[in-house]
Structures are given as C-alpha cells and as structure tokens.
Structure 1
Amino acid sequence: MENNKLNRLTGQARRESYSLSHDYIGVEHLLLALMKTGSLATKALEEAGANYELLRSIVINNIGKGSAVRPAKEYSNKVRQIFDRARLFAQKRKKVSASEEDVLLAILNDDDSFTNLMFMLSGLDKKIIRDNLIRLQKEEKSSNTSNNLSENLKKFAKNLNEMAEAGKIDPVIGREDEVERVIQILLRRTKNNPILIGDPGVGKTAIIEGLAQRIVDGKVPFVMKEKTIVSLDLASMIAGTKYRGDFEDRLKKLFGELEQREDVVLFIDEFHMVLGAGASEGSMDAANILKPILAKGDIQIIGATTIDEYRKHVEKDQALTRRMQPVHVEEPNKDDTIKIIEGLKDKYEDHHKVEITDEAIKAAVDLSQRYIQDRFLPDKAIDVIDEACSKERIKNYKENKNQVSNKEILDKLIEEKNIAINEQNFEKAASLRDQINETREKLEKEKEENKTDLKISFDEVAKIVSSWSKVPITKLTEDEKQKYMDLDIDLKKEVIGQDKAIDKISHAIKRARVGLKDPKKPIGSFIFVGPTGVGKTYLAKSLAKNLFGDMDNLIRMDMSEYMEKFAVSRLVGSPPGYVGYEEGGQLTEAVRKNPYSVILFDEIEKAHPDIFNLLLQILDDGRLTDGQGRTVDFKNTIIIMTSNVGVSSLNQNPKIGFGTGDVEKEIDDSNKEIINKAIKNAFAPEFLNRLDDIIMFNSLDKDAIKEITKILLEETKDRLKNLGIEINYNKRVVDLLSEGGFSKEYGARPLERHITNKIDNQLAEEILEGKLSKDMVINLTVKEGKINFANKKEKIKEEIPIS
C-alpha cells in the first residue's frame, strides 16, 4: 500500500497472523489489527462494543492456531479484494490513497468473509459500526480544517493555507517552473523534501506561499489537494526553553503530531537555523532530531535558505543534505519583475490609496537594478514602489480642521444617542439620529473636497532610489542639461591653464550622462600626466564638486601606501581568517557608501603590480569583489590616476618641456612622444588599452599663474568676509604676488605658500593684536615693491572672535 498508515495496518495484521502461527494474512487479521491502530476505525468499532480479546478468541475457536514458524508474507485473495474496494471508497471521497477507515468500510460491505461470523458471534451490528465511522469522519473533517490544527502546530507554526483562503498572500507570478519542481519533489516516494536555495529577496518564501494558494484554489495535482502547508516559527519554539531538554521535548511533540497528519507539510524558512538551534551542552540541535524522522519518511518538510548560508551550514551536513532535494531559485529578469509588480499593483494601490503608473513600475525595476547593487530583484524593486507610495501619501496627506471637529461632534452625538436609548428617551434619540446623519453627510462632503488624486511616476521612484543609493538620479531637466553643457566652462573657471584636459573629461562625462557610454564600465577612466603643482589633483576635486555637489565625493587613494604586496588586501579587505576580515576594504567600502564618486589614485606608478590586476577588473567590468565576496559597483564612478612618469626626462632638456613657450605645436608633439614612451615602459599594454584617455597637463605660464593668484586672493577675501572684514586689491598686487610665486618646476604650490606668507600671515597678526575689527575695509596696494595694508576704515568697533 502507498500510505504510511496502511503500512502500519498491514504490519500489525502480519503480527496478528504470526501470533496465531498462521501462514497467510487474512481479513480476520486485518480486523484484529484495526482494533490496535488507534485510528477512527478503532474508535468506530469500540463505540459499537467491539472487544479485541473476544474477537481473537472467536478466530482461535473457529479457525484454530496454525503451525507456521515465520511471519506470513502473502495476502489472501479476499484481503486483496478488500484493498481494491478500499481504494474505490477513497476515490469517491476524493482522497489520494486509502486509509484504515476505507479498509473497515470495505470489510463491512463484504458479506462472504469470515469477519461476518466474527461480528455476529461478538454481537456487533455492522450498521452501527458504519454509522459510527461516518460520524467520526465528519467530526475529523471539521476539526482538521485549516483553522483547527493541533495544539503545538497552532502554537509554533503559521497555517499558510488559512492565510491563502483569507486573501492574505500576495499573488505569485512567473514562478511556475519552481512551483512545479517543488510539487514533483513532494510527490516522490522517498527523499521528498525540497529545499529552496537562492539569494535573499528573489522570492523563495513567495514560492511556498504560492503553492499554498494553488492548493486552496485546487490548481494542483489530485494527490496534492488534501495537503496543508504550515510555516514553522523556530524562534517561538526556542523562546522560553529554560531547562535542558525543553526544546527537544517541544520539537518531538511537534514532529509526533506531524507524523499523525500526513496531509501537513512543514515549511522551515531560514532552514540553516535548524543546524545548532536549541543546542546546549549535552543536548541535540533541531537538525539531529529531524534527520532520523526524515530518514523514516514519516513527515515532509520544505526548507528555504540563501546560497551563502546553504554552503556555510547545510551543505557540510551530508546526512541532512542527502535527504533534501535542492530547488535553485534564480533572480528574475527585468521583464518578469515588471510582471510581478504589475500583479501586486492593486494591493499596493489599495493600501496606500495611490495610483501606480506603468512608468513608475518600469523605473523601479530599471533604477533599482542599476543603482542598488547589494540587493536582488524583485524584492528591491517592490520595496522602492512601496516606499515611494508611502512617501507620496504622507506628503499629500491633508486633514481639514473642520473635519477633525466634525468627527469629534459625531462621536459625541453617537454617545448621547446610546444614553438616550438606555434611558428609553426615544424622542431625544430620534432627534440625535437626525443630527448624526447630517454630521455624517458633512464629513463625507469634506472628505471628497480634500481628496487628492495621488500618482506615483518616474520622479517619485527616482527620489527613493536616489536616497538609498546616494546617486543623483533625476530626469535631464532644462537646468540639469545646462549644468552638463556648462561643465567645461565651470571647470575652466577653477582649474587654470588645462583647457585641453578639461575638454576631454567633460566630453566623456556628457556621453555617459545621456547614455552613450558602455553601461558596464565606469563613467570615465583617465591618467593625468604632468609636472607637480599644475592642477591634476585639483581638477579631480573640482570635478567631484561640480558633478556631485561636494568635494567629499572624492575618494583619494595615495598609491605610495600600496607599494608592498600585502597592501593589496587593504583595498578590497582581508580574506577570511585574517585580521580585519569583517572591516572590509578601504576602496570597496568607500565606493559602497558613495557609489557616485570620483576615485583618485594618486601617483599610480608607485603601486604594487598586483594593484593593476584589480584595476583591470574595475576598468573592464565596472565592478570589484571584496574580501567578503560582495560585488561592489563602480559603474557610476570616474576613475582618475595621476602620474609623473616621463616628467623628469622633459625637465632635463632645456629645449623641450612643459610650457617653455616657443614653437608650441612642435614642443607639444615632442612632449607627447617622450611621455607616451615613458608610459608604455611603466604600464602594461592591457592596462593602458582599458583607459579612456591619457591626458597631459602643461606647465603653468605667467598668465595662468596670474589667474590662479586672483582665485587664491578671492578665497582669502571670502574667508575674511565670514569675519566681517572686507578686502580690496588691484592689478599691481596680483602682478607682484604672481611674480614672486611663479615657478615653472613646481607649478602653483609655491604661489600658494607665497600668498600665505605675504597676506594671510600679516592679516592673522593684525586680527590677534586687535588692529582689525568687524566691518573694516582693507585696501591692498603695492608700495616700494612690497604689499601695503592701507586705508583701514572702521565703521563699528567690535572685537573679532578668535576661533
């Protein structure tokens, strides 16, 4: 027989036959066995007055004991007929397989077997037995409905069938293959316990909820229609187990109840938790209790866990894994995710009282897939839609003050009406009823007036993704278009003398912003080559400020700190087992926190060769795997590397070099040839081929130094303005400062020190001495070849606070 209970019945019948030394298994042995199974058939017989000893004695007196020395293996022909008839009864009741009750009914309907004599001699009425059985089956059916599980199942498990019937389960879309695979495994004869394995958020739990919904809707094979899926709450089972053995006792009782309920399948979410759950010194964990029960096949379970947890915990336990059948749940593609959200759309619209547009659904999928890299579809896209609806509902929520006061009036009137009815003052109650109806009409009218039609579109979704990922995701508005169009102009105002470099970078960024770049690669990747102090690092800072609104979006890595082989792990994090494994890498963690950044690798030529292997992956695929196995997305970063390779060769030749002034084109060509040769010698071809461009920076000429002088003086002017002091200067001051700070070899850095020495130091002295007070005007002039601080005009005498 294909049923565990019938297996027990036939086993008991074999023992009854053996106890009488019979060499066959007959119907009389089945009837004796039915008296010992503890089933509904046993109860029906007992309630009719059946007695096991009396029935056994009838068999002995009329058939006698046999002479067999071994248990019988063969069923009599009559037993086979009884089993066939039992199966027909089961089919009529729309049951998958026959039960002990069906066997008893088949025996009761047979008039030719020895059992008729047993019933007659023991004084049993077959009609009473049949009526008892039908009544008990009806009672069991009502008690076994989905809202009437046994005590432990109700306490420690959640009935998914019941939730599906109540409409509390979201529809499952696009997972037909996985659900079919789960059903196939559940219907196997042995090892019929599926375990769903997949990344968090791909829909493992939803698949099992979808299976429960299918069972309730009757959209499963006939043999599955009687199944009930219950979800185990392992935390509740462990909670409150104060003494050793409490947890094991609870678990054993639960599994014992499940053994009696073949129609119940236990779902264990986060299945890896059963390994070690409830274990303490001298006790077993849940897995060790579960394994022998699974081996016997007395219960069925479904597990669900992530890929990482499966490998880390479950896969190591071979005894457990061989009893589980893996079902791999992959992340759905964009089209399937859109269908999933469209299926859930009505539920979210009803909950939030908003309208979700098709544009919003597509945007949630596209933007979450592109910008939220540490989570998976469809979970992240659904969460984006949910939060966008929530935000819009809160933002547009309005409740009229009159509406609030009318609600209070309505509550008060209802209370007065109830009091009037209790006092039997029906005239007053009728009057109050009219007032209540009038107030309700006012409330409904105010609700309609204040009702706002809320729609979720691209912009609402983009704001949520932007807040999660810290990426400025907006449509290209007219203002933003202008910002990108003017990017090169804005950069040239801040970075002087490097117009060609700025043009190349701004073109790359514009291509990326309108979607013409390879989506798998970073926005741009460049090597800045040139002498010190010409603006290589400053251009990277200005780029971060102009593009991302803040210089803090510059991630700076000084490659002189990564010259040794062991330093490579600092970028991506230590491997498992090493100190600092949990902390993550300096580069990967910085990009995870700010995925929209400019990354500056300063003095790249000083890096260890292994660093370049990591950079190849970033430049080619736009991603990097850290020490913990997490993928970090570099697609929204700009990679800038600075280098001084070849610069010393140029400086050694007085006729050619950066910014020597004469025959500019020939000098530029010569520069390029020398620099390119030096770069090819310093870096591997596969590294150079992955870069967008090699950008050469010129030395700063005197005109550029003058412009930089103005910028530095303006910065000083802004700082003084915060202190309430105004400063003015003329062209002669600029000329004198730029001439004193000019250096072909060291660029703008000497100029910055020169202005600090000549201007900032003097101002600091005068502020500390109290000579400068708030609301004073200082005019800088040149007198006898020196900077003169003149014409201090005091408006309001007040000491400047020194911070």
Structure 2
Amino acid sequence: MDILEKFSTHGRAALRQAFLLSRECGSLTVEPEHLLCGIALQRGSIGAEMLAKANLNIQTIQQALPTQSPKAILLPRLSETSRRSLERATLLSSRFGHRYIGTEHLLAGLLEQSAGRLERLLAVQGVSREQLRDRLGVVFKSTTKFPELAEALDIMSGSAHEDEGMPATTRVAAKPGASPLTSYAIELTDDVVQRRIDPLIGRESEVERLVQILCRRTKNNPLLLGDPGVGKTAIVEGLAKKIVQGDVPDPLRRRHIWQLDLGLLVAGSSYRGEFEQRLKLLLAEIRHRPDVILFIDELHAIVGAGSASGSMDAANLMKPALARGEVRCIGATTQEDYKRHVEHDAALERRFQPILVRQPDQRQTVAILRGLRPSYERFHGVAITDDAISAAVQLADRYVMGKAQPDKSIDVLDEASAIRKIASVKTGGRDPLRTAEQQLDELLAGKQRAVAEERFEDALQLRDHEARLRTKMTRLKERRAQLPPTALPRVTVADVHAVIAKMTGVQLAVLRTGERQQLRRLERQLGERIAGQTEALRKVAQVIRRAKTGVASVRRPLGSFLFLGPSGVGKTELARVLADTVFGGVDALVRLDMSEFAEPFTVSRLIGAPAGYVGYRDSAQLTDLVRKRPHSVVLFDEVEKAHPQVLTLLLQILEDGILTDATGKTASFRNAVVIMTANLGTEEFLQQAAIGFDDRQAEHEERFAAVQQAVLATVAQEFPPELLNRIDQTIIFNPLSLPTIAHIAHRQLQELAARLKEQGTQLRWGPAVCRAIAQASFSPDQGARAVRRTIQDLVETPAAERLLRQRRPPRLTIRARGGVITLS
C-alpha cells in the first residue's frame, strides 16, 4: 500500500506545501523548517493549532528560510533529517493505533530530531520543544483527539505570557494525561481559580439552603432560579470559596466544585455515540469520586445537548445518576428557560430542588458593590468613593430598565471606573508602565527582524531583554496596586451621572441638579410653550410631581391622562413639550396613531403575533419601542378610533405599569407618561365656539361648564368604565380665545425673527399685527393650526420675495391697518 494513502488530508497538504516552499527557495532538499512551515500553514489541523497556541510566528519562520539562486527546476528530495522525521511520524501513528498520519504525528516526528537550525528558530520565539512533545503525548493517548487537544491547547496558553484582561476560566492549566473531568470542566475550588473570583457579599439564606440540599442523601441537586444578573453563578463561586476556607459543615469539607463546559463536551463529537461515550466516562469518574460536586451553568442547555437521530441527550443520560445520588449537581438557569425546557420534563424536574434567587434591594446592592470595590479599584487603578457607589445603585435602579440588580449597578460602576481611568491617562503625564509597554512592542518587532535576517545571537539577546522588561512591568503593576487611594484618580458621582446619561438618554443636567428644582418650575416651563391652557398644565404638573417625589404608587406609570377638546388647542403639542421638558428631548415621544388600529387583528402590531401565526417573534410596535426608551411619553393619538380589543391592552398598562408581549416578555411603563387624546364632543365645542370671544367671564365659565358635562357624558358612553377609572386625570382643553391666538401668533413671529436674524435681517412688528393675525386665523374647527398658515401667506411669502429682490435688507417691518397686514 502507498504510504501517502495513510496521510490525512491536512498531512498530505502539509507535505505538498513543504515541497513547494523548498522549491520556491531554490533548495534541492526539503529541510525540517520547510516541513514546519507546511504544518503551520494548515489552518484547522491539530499541528497548526498547537503551534499557534505556542505563539509561533509563521511569517518569521518563512522569512528565515534559506534562499538559493537560481530556483530549483526539479522536484526537491527529502533531506536525511526530514526523512527520519517522516519515519518517526509513521511509527507514532502505528504505536497509538491511529489509522492515519496527521499533522500532529509530523510535528512530533520533527521535534524528536536534532535539527540545529530549527531548534534555534524555535528557541528565539520562546517555543519549548519539550513542552510541545509533552502536549502531543496528551493527544496521542486518546482514541479521539478532541478532549486531549483542548486540554493541550489550554496548557500551551498557560505556558505563554498571560493576559490579565482574560477571564480566569480561560487560563486554567491541566496536567498531562488529563481525565474526562479535567478535560471538560474547570475546578472552582482550585487555588489559581479562587484568586480570580470575586468575593460573595450577602446571600446567606441562599447559600445556607444550597448547603442543606447538598447534604441530603438523595436528590441532593440544588437548582438556582433567577433573572439574568441576580448573582446565581456568584453564589456557587462563593460556596466554592467557603469550601476552600473551610467555612462549611463537615459533609462538604474537602469537597471540590467543578464547572462543566458543555460546549467543550459536545465539540467535535461528529460520530454517533461519541458524545454519549464522553458523558458516560465523565459520569463514571464522578461516581468514583464522591468529593466532586458538578456545577452546570445554564442547566436548560443539557436538554437536547448532543442529541441526534437515534441518540440520547445529556439530560436523559444524567437522570439515573442524579436520582440515585451518585452524582451531586448544582444547576443554574432563569425562570423563563426553566419553564420552557425543564419544567415539561417531569422526570428531570423532580431530580432538582429549586432555590429562588431574587434581586437584592438597594441596601444589599450597596453592600455588594462595596465588597467588590477592591477588585475594580485594582483592575482600573482608581479609587471609588462611597458616594459613587450609592449613586450607581440609586440611579441604576431608577433609570436602567431590562436588567437586574446587582448586575446593572456593577455595569454602571465598572464603566464609570473605565471613564475615569481613560480620562486620567489623557490628562496625566508620562506613565512608566505605558512607556515600558511601548518599549516591549518595539523590542518584539526588533526580535522578529533579527530572526528574519538570521541574526540569531542578537535575537537571543533581545529575548533576554524582553524577559527583563516583563519583570519590570510586573513590578510597576505591583507598585501601582500598593499606591494609597489619595494618589489614584477618584471615581465620583459625576462619573456615574455621565454613564447613566449615556446608557439611558436622561438629561445630564437633570441628574446633576436633581429633579426637585425642575419639578418646582414644571408648570411655568410648560406654560412658556403652551398658551391658554393654565388649568390643564396645573393638573398635569400635579400628577408628575406626585409620581416623581415617590408619593404615588411606583407600580403604575408616572402619569396617565386623557386629553379632550377640539382640534388645534394643544393636546398633541403638550405631549411633545412634556417629552422635551421632563425626559430631555422630543425623541422621548412614542406616538401611535390609533386610527391605524381600528381592526381587531391589529393588536398583533402592538404586542406581536401569537405563536403559530405569521410574524411570530417579529418586532412589536409598542413594546419594543418602550423597551428601547422606557423614559418616554407614550401618546395614543385619537384613541377613540381604536378597536375595543386594542383598548383592553391599556388596562394592564394603566394598572400594573407593564405590558406582556406575545413572546412572554414584559415592557415596563413605570417610568413613562401615558397620554391618550380624543376629539369626542367636538359638536358641543363648535356650537359654543363663541364663548372664546365672550367678554363676560361669569357667563363664559357657566357655558363652558355645560360643554364639559356634555363632553364627559359622551366619553362615558364611548369608553368602558374600567378604563376611565384607571386614568389619573381626564383633562378638557379650553377653546382658544382671541388673546390666546394673538399670543401664539406673537410666539411664531419670534421664531421667524430668529431665523431671519441668522441671515442678517431684523424683523419688527407691533401688538396690532398679532391681533390682526388672530382675527384672520380664527376658525373653530382648526384652533391654532390656522395661525401658521396665516403667517406663511401674509408674512413669510412676502419676506422671501423681498430677500430675493434685495440681497440682504437690514430691516423688515410688519404693519396692520384696517385688518390688512403689509410688509415693508
């Protein structure tokens, strides 16, 4: 049989690449360095991956290949060293019972030969031949390459220079000849891992319950249930720390908690039965080791994991061992995933004992952040103040929606620390650590050039210099960690305010000055932009003040209003102004035209289509918008035109402050203002339109009160009482009087004057102009909307023509004589 038939696809490709490289270099023989380059260029092969994890720079090796001229025309032959390497690769494959010769065998054969040039190239790059040989031995001792390969790669990562920014779980090194447990799991009680795990603050009741279940004889498998970010994994890591410290009952002393990596267990199991074999070996080892407690994060993932046609999933394979108590397991998942994946499997559900993990309150969250403060101060090189911690908890609780405590407060504090660290680097002087890092980059580049130019002695000297520089950087980091807090940049409340403003879109000025001053001035601020509706503004401001000061229920929206009145009196404009004033911009207005929801099936546009219908899991128009911007004004315009089934959605919003969409997710309206507008009773307003020009105040109020009663009676007929009773205020807007319309005209002329001033033209007018515009604009069925049209026709159009005739007229004057408006 031809020996090449035994080579794997990657193995044959590596040989072909080595011959091509040799020929390109003009060499008559294929040397070991050509074979090494051929192996390293086979992406996805075991040999290439091991070389990559060992930090081998293939470009440097290629540049160091000897070049002869002219290039060889004939096919080069194997050198004696290369031939012995191939023979050794064949023997290794046969010894371990492998049916192929792969890149891992070729690499092992190369490493067992004494090749001076290749050995120098590896030494310059810090690659140890002995370590590579040991790791390859791990691969060869398995009938399948994946578990040992993963462990070998982890070991190679651990032998290289560690990045302090990497997660701790990616830097755990195992020992050669690893068992299934060490191949697919990480020991949380290991001293190396423990040094990188944050302390557990609080959660005494959850840990106590966890210990009690673990000490049972059977069904000793606790399951932590809670929202994402409440600290389920932290509780298990805290228990591991207690075990290491000996602060646990005797039944749990000298126990070891191992966290299963289910992805690594499934990875590479391409043949039927391979996944089951791995899991069975893992469970068999745990049975024989009663000191092992298995932790499965995201427990719902074991349902269906590894299953294929005619095979069992991980959950079914684990059920017998869990029921008999042969394997003690801690699970963690969310309540939603538990209900979807675990609860329907009664046999799996009864083997676990649920422990509900709730969000901590503000006091507990502050204690948690104070306990984590040293870790974040050490990482960022800053000092975090107590006020910053308190502000992070309070503001995250109030403004950050969709996340749970303490996760969202930790996010805020972490980002605030990062902001302060970046700012201190920009404003500070020359940092010795940064200087050392730049020198290291230059040194590494110089070492690569030396190798490429075959100056190996210089490269070795540079490598020694690199080691000294890394030692210096370590000392600098240790010295920085020992600095007193007063010498470090301080994370203050202002940094927390900046983070909250970026996360939520809340005005930074509101966060800095507080809301008390703004709430006191709210009525006046609204009145500056809404004319003639003093009573409506007063009622709106009262409701907002009650909610913002915490007097009103926190389980309902900040305010809910039904605005009634004729068209053009300012109902929609007030919603827009409220969004700008209270929430920092008109972008905070979520407007829905309810005339688009006149049919019953349009409910699916608001909350999404139900399961089984077209559009399921597509975006929902209302709930998705509110999730993106929970601090907003939600305007249901012309709500009387909506179908009754659509109106029933408002009951849940107004009563509980939440709305559940078709997928079961909730959108919170508790930080929003809900406004509904309606044009009911328009006939009564039009019939009484003259009251807007009535000079007799008593008669005006009496007739308007009669109109209000008629309008409210119409509303009671159109809307169900359960909806009306949940609304904070039903506000009837006054028809606009002549002075009010004149005031609106004056305000719009001011806006026009500001635009003209930017072009160098001054605009002047008198009170008579505003009265004339009001007289010309008055229309009972249009309200103030006709004012803008009147100004456009009588002022803006002549002004535009005047600007075209004269390049830049310095002054324009509006005059009104006998009700006729002219521009001069």
Q: Say whether the fold is shared (TM-score over 0.5).
A: yes
> What does the per-residue CA deviation read over 1:652-706, in whole Å, with 9 as the maximum and x for residues that have no partner?
357x755544322322332333333333333334433333322222222222222
- Tell me what 1:11 maps to: none
- Tell me what 1:361 maps to: 389
- Tell me what 2:773 maps to: 737
- Tell me what 2:748 maps to: 712
Distance 1:627 1:667 in 2: 48
Q: 1:173, 1:340 within 8 Å by CA — same for their partners in 2?
A: yes
Q: Structure 1 residues 257, 480: closer, same or farther in 2, change over 3 A? A: closer
Distance 2:176 2:580 in 1: 64
- Tell me what 1:758 maps to: 794
Distance 2:722 2:691 in 1: 28
- The amino acid that maps onto 1:521 is R
Q: 1:603, 1:643 within 8 Å by CA — same for their partners in 2?
A: yes
- Tell me what 2:242 maps to: 214
Decide which of 160, 172, 178 is 2:206's aligned counterpart. Answer: 178
> What does the per-residue CA deviation read over 1:29-71, in whole Å, with 9 as the maximum and x for residues that have no partner?
xxxxxxxxxxxxxxxxxxxxxxxxxxxxxxxxxxxxxxxxxxx
Written as runs of structure 1 = structure 2, the 5 A alignment for 1:550-561 is: 550-561=585-596
Q: Structure 1 residues 668, 453: closer, same or farther in 2, change over 3 A? A: farther
- Tell me what 1:400 maps to: 429
> What does the per-residue CA deviation read over 1:631-656, in whole Å, with 9 as the maximum and x for residues that have no partner?
322222222222222231343357x7
Residue 474 of structure 1 deviates from its aligned partner by 6.5
> What does the per-residue CA deviation read over 1:73-95, in whole Å, with 9 as the maximum and x for residues that have no partner?
xxxxxxxxxxxxxxxxxxxxxxx
Secondary structure (helix, strand or coil) at the match of 1:583 reads: coil
- Tell me what 2:648 maps to: 613
- Tell me what 1:665 maps to: 701
- Tell me what 1:747 maps to: 783
Residue 307 of structure 1 deviates from its aligned partner by 1.0
Ranges in structure 2 where 5+ consecutive residues have no aligned partner: 1-172, 445-456, 458-467
1:528 maps to 2:556: no
Q: Structure 1 residues 537, 172: closer, same or farther in 2, change over 3 A? A: same
Decide which of 696, 715, 726 is 1:679's aligned counterpart. Answer: 715
Distance 1:321 1:258 in 2: 21
Q: 1:726, 1:776 within 8 Å by CA — same for their partners in 2?
A: yes
Q: Structure 1 residues 588, 409: closer, same or farther in 2, change over 3 A? A: closer
Secondary structure (helix, strand or coil) at the match of 1:401 reads: coil
Distance 2:538 2:665 in 1: 36
1:692 maps to 2:692: no
Secondary structure (helix, strand or coil) at the match of 2:300 reads: helix
1:343 maps to 2:371: yes
Distance 2:432 2:291 in 1: 53
- Tell me what 1:68 maps to: none
- Tell me what 1:127 maps to: none
Q: 1:146, 1:161 within 8 Å by CA — same for their partners in 2?
A: no
Residue 484 of structure 1 deviates from its aligned partner by 4.0
- TM-score, scaled to structure 2: 0.67
Distance 1:405 1:285 in 2: 51
- Tell me what 1:305 maps to: 333
> What does the per-residue CA deviation read over 1:534-559, in whole Å, with 9 as the maximum and x for residues that have no partner?
11111221222223332221111222
Secondary structure (helix, strand or coil) at the match of 1:519 reads: coil
Secondary structure (helix, strand or coil) at the match of 1:694 reads: strand
Written as runs of structure 1 = structure 2, the 5 A alignment for 1:533-682 is: 533-652=568-687, 657=691, 660-662=694-696, 663-682=699-718
Ranges in structure 1 where 5+ consecutive residues have no aligned partner: 1-144, 416-421, 423-432, 791-803
Residue 530 of structure 1 deviates from its aligned partner by 1.4
- Tell me what 1:20 maps to: none
1:270 maps to 2:306: no
> What does the per-residue CA deviation read over 1:232-266, in whole Å, with 9 as the maximum and x for residues that have no partner?
11112223334444433333332333233222222
Distance 1:527 1:276 in 2: 51
- The amino acid that maps onto 2:702 is E
Residue 153 of structure 1 deviates from its aligned partner by 2.2
Secondary structure (helix, strand or coil) at the match of 1:601 reads: strand
Secondary structure (helix, strand or coil) at the match of 2:190 reads: helix
Deviates more, 1:723-732 or 1:606-615: 723-732
Residue 470 of structure 1 deviates from its aligned partner by 2.6
Distance 1:150 1:223 in 2: 27
Q: Structure 1 residues 572, 444: closer, same or farther in 2, change over 3 A? A: closer
Distance 1:628 1:452 in 2: 51
Q: 1:364, 1:381 within 8 Å by CA — same for their partners in 2?
A: yes
Decide which of 194, 199, 202 is 2:230's aligned counterpart. Answer: 202
| Alignment root-mean-square deviation, CA | 3.9
- Tell me what 1:25 maps to: none
Distance 2:365 2:775 in 1: 65
> What does the per-residue CA deviation read over 1:163-216, in whole Å, with 9 as the maximum and x for residues that have no partner?
477432222233333333333333333333332222211222122212222221
> What does the per-residue CA deviation read over 1:287-324, in whole Å, with 9 as the maximum and x for residues that have no partner?
23333444565433222211111111122223322333
- Tell me what 2:42 maps to: none
- Across the two proteins, how many residue pairs are aligned to each other? 621
Q: Structure 1 residues 773, 543: closer, same or farther in 2, change over 3 A? A: farther
Decide which of 158, 168, 192 is 2:196's aligned counterpart. Answer: 168
Q: 2:547, 2:558 within 8 Å by CA — same for their partners in 1?
A: yes
Q: 2:382, 2:489 within 8 Å by CA — same for their partners in 1?
A: yes
Distance 1:549 1:511 in 2: 19
Distance 2:483 2:321 in 1: 61
- Tell me what 1:75 maps to: none
Secondary structure (helix, strand or coil) at the match of 1:581 reads: coil
Q: 1:766, 1:772 within 8 Å by CA — same for their partners in 2?
A: yes
Residue 158 of structure 1 deviates from its aligned partner by 0.6
Distance 1:305 1:562 in 2: 38
- The amino acid that maps onto 1:374 is G
Q: 2:225, 2:355 within 8 Å by CA — same for their partners in 1?
A: yes
